[in-house]
Amino acid sequence: MYILIERRLFCLSSAIPFIINSETVIMSVETKNLRNIVLLGHSGSGKTTFAETMLFESKALNRRGTVESKSTVSDYTNIEQDKQTSLFTSLMHVRWKNSKINIIDTPGSDDFVGEVISSLKVADTALVILNAANGVEVGTELLWEYVQSFNTPAIFVANQIDHDKSDYDATLEQAKERFGNKVLPFQFPLNQGAGFTTIVDALRMVMYVFPEDGGKPEKQAIPESAIGRAQEMHNALVEAAAENDEALMEKFFEEGTLNEEELASGLTIALANQLIYPVFCASATQNKGSGRIMGFINDIAPSPADRPEAALEDGGTIACDKNGPTTVFIYKTLSEPQVGQVSYFKVYSGILSAGDELVCNRNTERIAQIYESNGKIRTQVNSLVAGDIGATVKLKHTHSNETLTAKGVEHKIEKIKFPEPRIRTAVVPPSKADMEKLMKALHQIEAEDPTLIVEQSIPLKQTILHGQGQLHLDLVKYRIEKVNNIKMEYERPRIPYRETITRMANDSYRHKKQSGGSGQFAEVHMRIEPYVENMPAPAGLTVRNTEIIDLEWGGKLAFYWCIVGGSIDSKYANAIKKGIMQKMAEGPLTGSYCQDIRVSIYDGKMHAVDSNDMAFMIAASQVFKSAFEKAGAQILEPIYDVDILCSDQVMGDVMGDLQGRRAMIQGMDAEGHYQKISAKVPLAEMYKYSSTLRSITQGKAKFTRKLSEFIPVTHDIQKALIRDYNSQLQEA
């Protein structure tokens, strides 16, 4: 299929205006010719620079930018250029031989793992960039878990071979050790380090010698000194290619080798099924090696149609077929100055054409323009076929992680699951006038970034942001200040404590008010006890009715109606329950949520004229408070399960720091070259943990956390918390 493409100017960033002339080009794009590649790897391994060299080598660029001169195609936003690191995924594409290769560059920092996950969702091959001077770094190991969970075929690139400290063999060994024996070298450098020029290619059995400033290499015969190693590698590749196809295996046994076509066919199967992880070498800064890797991607990497069918929300699957119903999944949105929301998508099925009307959640969206993208430069196209990745602007109703389909088609692509937040902060409330603007802006960022959660906490009386790390939260602040022009400060977030009781207590309260006409009267007798599942019925009471309520903040309220002889009409039960719930939402000790309490209403009084729902609500709330205080009231604090992955050298520092955080170490396990420490840590001790961990380990550790349980605080902490709360009440 040939698509007419009109090339125009689109300046979407406030960074540097970009101008290109209008022209019209004809390009061929068939699903089988598409290659969707995601660049992954530890921060600083060279992903963005590698993307730049791919663009340059394929002539999509005529001048190569650098991260240092803030001129790469991928890192085009001001903040990425300021920080000299990628913060958002960025979509680019090149033409190489028959293929259109879509390239998604991702940030290596663990704070932006959401960007990695959404890119892996739509990519068909991962290009894992290793820094050959550092070997396999912790960020890459963590990313590998996601590559595995998406079953994405992967190719390793040992980058920075020109680095003084480059050690290809050590990097290869580490990769085998961490990622298994499917890691298979296709190349090795002959002269790594400052004078790097030469790569031996064991697939083609040829040597590539690069000019000093990189680019197209000269092919030469492999020298005697390297032929043995090259042949050994080649044999391993031939064996790997033959292994997964009976016909190839037979041929291999008969003839002891395979021809080029057979080799390609076997390797294609092996790569697509994650039976091999090829390793290549490169220097991104010196523009050496990317051409061969793009050639391999063109020849061997799977097209979107070669991957398993995509999972749908309803449990079914959908084939990547241009004749299927148009199905478009938004994997990322980003608002940009002067443009508004840009939505990045993959066409999972059918053909998306400009002007199409598609449906998402019963809302019709007209897709007015479709773009191919190279960072901030977007080129308008008429249509994109199944498997292709592109961008559109100004969608009104459709957000990240949602599916647009042709009218009458109901299915949805299975949503991306994002990890739990790892860090929280509170926002210092701005002026009343700015508050509304701030909340709107925060919710806009939240809609674009599913790893950010904005919570307006009523019990904590704070706006809390939950994110992935300090850098992540700093980025939110930067965007609010620079894009929305609202001053924003962070402060220490309060802790969501819980309150409960430790023993049984009985109490009663009479609410009586006589003011002018009709008065208010209600008397409630209540027993409260700590609630545990399957506890025996309250001793000495006659239970008429029971209700176990799951509280929205966690834990339970067991509400027992034990009135005999009609001392309170059962029509007031709901009002009584409401009064209790009101108090449970603002606990008697510190205003925190209460949980796991059984309340039995066993006696009371009512008045024929003066009793009403309001009176019973007040009486119930009062008696709950006074009974609670008699029942060994206890404050509980949230405890998190924290898993830290770190290298041996920094383990002592990580443990020392944990000890200062009241942590309870649960275990230590070796994971490859890393240690995994599992600990239970009170949330109150986790403030700014992500920056502390980064600084004490120089970035050589990563952590995840998950709410584990609420446990009682010590007597001293409880006293201090109650004192603080009471002084806050007096100040208010």
Ligand X SMILES: Nc1nc2c(ncn2[C@@H]2O[C@H](COP(=O)(O)OP(=O)(O)OP(=O)(O)O)[C@@H](O)[C@H]2O)c(=O)[nH]1
- Residues near ligand X (CB under 6 A) are 41, 43-49, 66-68, 85-86, 107-108, 159-160, 162-163, 283-285
- Binding characters for Mg ion, 197-236, by CB under 5 A (x = yes): ----------------------------------------
> Which residue, 306, 307, 321, 317, is CA-closest to 413?
317
C-beta closer to ligand X: residue 107 or 588: 107
Quick check: 48 binds Mg ion (CB under 5 A)? yes
CA separation, residue 499 to residues 518, 549, 576, 632 (Å):
37, 17, 20, 11
The item of ligand X, Mg ion, none sharing an interface with residue 163, based on CB under 5 to 8 Å by kind, is ligand X
C-alpha separations of 419 from 109, 113, 218, 451 in Å = 15, 8, 46, 7
Backbone angles phi, psi at 71, to 5 degrees: -130, 20
Interaxial angle between packed helices 432-448 and 470-482, expressed in degrees from 0 to 180 and rounded to the nearest 10: 120
Q: How far is CA 140 from CA 31, 52, 156, 317, 648, in A?
A: 30, 20, 11, 30, 17
Contact of residue 41 among Mg ion, ligand X, none (CB under 5-8 Å per partner type): ligand X
For the record, the structure tokens of 155 come out as 């190719």
Residue 41 CB, shortest distance to ligand X, in Å, is: 6
Amino acid identity of residue 230, one-letter, is A
Query: Smallest gap, in angstroms, from Cβ of residue 457 to Mg ion?
Result: 35
Instruction: Provide the minimum distance between the beta carbon of 283 and ligand X in the complex, in angstroms, as a whole number.
Output: 4
Q: How far apart are CA 76 and CA 88, in angstroms?
A: 10
Binder of residue 222, out of Mg ion, ligand X, none (CB less than 5 to 8 A by kind):
none
Name the residue nearer to Mg ion (CB basis): 86 or 403: 86
Nearer to ligand X, 41 or 217 (CB): 41
In the complex with ligand X, the residue whose CB is nearer, 172 or 222, is: 172
How near is the Cβ of 131 to Mg ion at its closest, in Å?
12
Residue 349 contact partner, candidates ligand X, Mg ion, none, CB within 5 to 8 A by sort of partner: none
Considering beta carbons, is residue 75 or 499 the nearer one to Mg ion? 75
- Can you list the positions of beta strands (E) in 615-713? 634-647, 664-671, 674-682, 701-712
The residue range among 40-48, 260-268, 549-557, 684-692 that interacts with Mg ion, by the rule CB under 5 A, is 40-48
159 binds, among ligand X, Mg ion, none (CB under 5 to 8 A by kind): ligand X
Per DSSP (E only), the strands in 14-59 are: 23-28, 34-40
**Structure-token match 């010719």, residue found:** 33
List the single partner that 192 binds among Mg ion, ligand X, none, CB under 5 to 8 Å by kind: none
- Which CB atom, from 302 or from 699, has the smaller least distance to Mg ion? 699
Closest CA to 323 of 101, 30, 98: 30
Give the nearest distance from C-beta 211 to ligand X in angstroms. Answer: 16
Least distance to ligand X, CB of residue 198, Å: 15
3 state DSSP class of 392: strand
Q: Where does 150-201 have alpha helices with state H?
A: 168-179
Residue 111 interacts with, from ligand X, Mg ion, none (CB under 5-8 Å by kind): none
By a kind-dependent CB cut-off of 5 to 8 A, residue 283 interacts, out of Mg ion, ligand X, none, with ligand X
Task: For the CB of residue 482, give the shortest distance to ligand X in the complex, in Å.
Answer: 20
Which residue lies nearer to ligand X by CB, 33 or 81?
81
Q: Which does 289 bind (CB under 5 to 8 A by kind): ligand X, Mg ion, none?
A: none
User: Which tokens go with 285?
Assistant: 């800064």
Which residue do the tokens 């400009």 mark? 354
Site string for Mg ion, 79-108 (x = CB under 5 A): -------x----------------------
User: Which residues is 681 bridged to in the sheet?
Assistant: 640
When CB distances are held under 5 to 8 angstroms depending on the partner's kind, the choice from Mg ion, ligand X, none that residue 36 binds is none
User: Cβ of residue 635: shortest distance to Mg ion, in angstroms?
Assistant: 45
- What lies within 8 Å, CB to CB, of 674 at 6+ separation is 138, 141, 645, 646, 647, 648
In whole angstroms, the minimum distance from the beta carbon of 105 to Mg ion comes to: 6
Interface size with Mg ion, residues (CB under 5 A): 3
Interface segment toward Mg ion; rule CB under 5 A; list 41-49, 163-171, 195-203, 611-619: 41-49
Q: What DSSP line would sit under 250-274, residue for residue?
A: HHHHHHSS--HHHHHHHHHHHHHTT
What does 125 interact with, of Mg ion, ligand X, none (CB < 5 to 8 A by kind)?
Answer: none
45's contact among ligand X, Mg ion, none, with CB below 5 to 8 A by partner kind, is ligand X
Least Cβ distance, residue 490 to Mg ion (angstroms): 26
Q: Which of 46-54, 127-135, 370-378, 438-446 is the region at the interface with Mg ion (rule: CB under 5 A)? A: 46-54
Could you tell which of ligand X, Mg ion, none binds residue 49, using a CB distance below 5 to 8 A set by kind? ligand X
Report the residue number whose CB is nearest to ligand X: 108
Contact partner, 134, from Mg ion, ligand X, none, Cβ < 5-8 Å per class: none
Task: Find the part of the chain contacting Mg ion (CB under 5 A) among 43-51, 258-266, 285-293, 525-533.
Answer: 43-51
The answer to whether residues 166 and 152 touch, using CB atoms and an 8 Å cutoff, is no
Cβ proximity to Mg ion, 115 vs 245, nearer residue: 115
Q: Which is nearer to ligand X, 283 or 425 (CB)?
A: 283
What's the min distance (Å) between Cβ of 472 and Mg ion? 16
Name the binder of 67 from Mg ion, ligand X, none, CB < 5-8 A by kind: ligand X
Q: What angle do CA 455, 474, 50 make, to 5 degrees?
A: 120
Residue 284 vs 597, nearer CB to ligand X? 284
285 binds, among ligand X, Mg ion, none (CB under 5 to 8 A by kind): ligand X
Nearer to ligand X, 113 or 351 (CB): 113
- Smallest separation (angstroms) from ligand X to the CB of 195: 13
Q: Are 357 and 335 in contact (CB under 8 A)?
A: no
Angle between helices 138-149 and 113-122 (to 10 degrees): 40
| 3-class SS of residue 342 | strand
Q: Measured from the CB atom, is 103 or 573 closer to Mg ion? A: 103
Q: How far is the CB of 673 from ligand X (least distance, A)?
A: 21
Q: How far is the CB of 134 from Mg ion (least distance, A)?
A: 16
Question: Among 671, 621, 626, 664, which residue's Cα sits nearest to residue 645?
Answer: 671
Residue nearer to Mg ion on the CB measure, 286 or 520? 286
**Pairing, β 206-209 against β 99-105:** unpaired
- State the minimum distance, in angstroms, from the CB of residue 251 to Mg ion: 43
Q: Letter for the amino acid at 35? A: R
Count of C-beta atoms within a 10 Å radius of residue 590: 23
Residue 325 half-sphere exposure toward CB, CA atoms < 13 A: 16
Exposed / middle / buried, residue 521 (Cβ in 10 Å: 0-12, 13-18, 19+): buried
Looking at the Cβ atoms of 108 and 189, the one nearer to Mg ion is: 108
Q: Which is nearer to ligand X, 283 or 590 (CB)?
A: 283
Closest CA to 535 of 554, 500, 552, 560: 560
Q: Measured between alpha carbons, how far is 383 from 374 in angstroms, rounded to an integer? A: 17
- Report the C-alpha dihedral over residues 262, 263, 269, 271, rounded to 10 degrees: -170
In the complex with Mg ion, the residue whose CB is nearer, 48 or 283, is: 48
Residue 162 vs 262, nearer CB to ligand X: 162
Window of 42-50, 466-474, 697-705, 718-726 that interacts with Mg ion by CB under 5 A: 42-50
> What is the pairing mode between strands 99-105 and 34-40?
parallel
Give Cα 210 to chain centroid, integer Å.
39
288 binds, among Mg ion, ligand X, none (CB under 5 to 8 A by kind): none
Q: From residue 632, give the alpha-carbon distance in Å to each of 501, 558, 723.
A: 5, 18, 17
Q: Give the footprint of Mg ion on this chain (CB under 5 A).
A: 47-48, 86
